[in-house]
Amino acid sequence: LHDALPICKILWHKNLVSDFGGSVPTWGYCESPLVDGDKVIIAPGGKNTIVAFNRNTGDVIWTSAVPEQDGAHYSSAIIAEVDGVKQYIEFLSNGVIGVSAKDGKFLWRYNNPANHTANCAAPIILNNLIFAASGYGTGGGLAQLASNGGNIEAKQVYFTKEMKNHHGGMVLVGDYLYGVDDRTL
């Protein structure tokens, strides 16, 4: 089998700590990079909270300095389009944030689902509604994203302690959201 595998060649490499001032989370960098066309999106955390690389060359397309300079956590980025604006959404140490896919401009923040220990499950988005949840006694909340004078605002619709989803992620099937409340484990 070894002889049948193609020889892999490293095309490019980045160090999220020394190259971008990131800070390794307690259990290491664990997110899966998001590949979107020719971009690779990753969160070093800190002053360059999110970085977009050219997937072929490794060149930096943009860096995004998110207010609060959130640390990286364990959830992977997702893509969404809200009111015609394509964005990348990350669940970082202090909350869920959205940045413009075009240039990394910070767009919005929703902090209530963050537990500051391990935010692991990727948020779920449907149209302009986003749900995020975490364990460690926190729970989950639904926020509505709305344009407001050129900015996007995240307004909480509800929050529940009955969805302390920790590792497994959540899925949306039709109009129903499924996940696990970690107290039942």
The partner residues of 39 in beta bridges, in order of sequence, read 36, 54
User: Which pLDDT score, from 0 to 100, does residue 107 have?
Assistant: 95
Cβ atoms of residues 164 and 133 within 8 Å: yes
pLDDT at 157: 97
Q: Is the pTM of this model over 0.75?
A: yes
Q: pLDDT category, 167, cuts 50, 70, 90?
A: confident
Q: Exposed, middle or buried: residue 163 (CB in 10 Å: 0-12, 13-18, 19+)?
A: buried
How does DSSP classify residue 183? G
Q: What is the mean pLDDT of residues 57-83?
A: 94
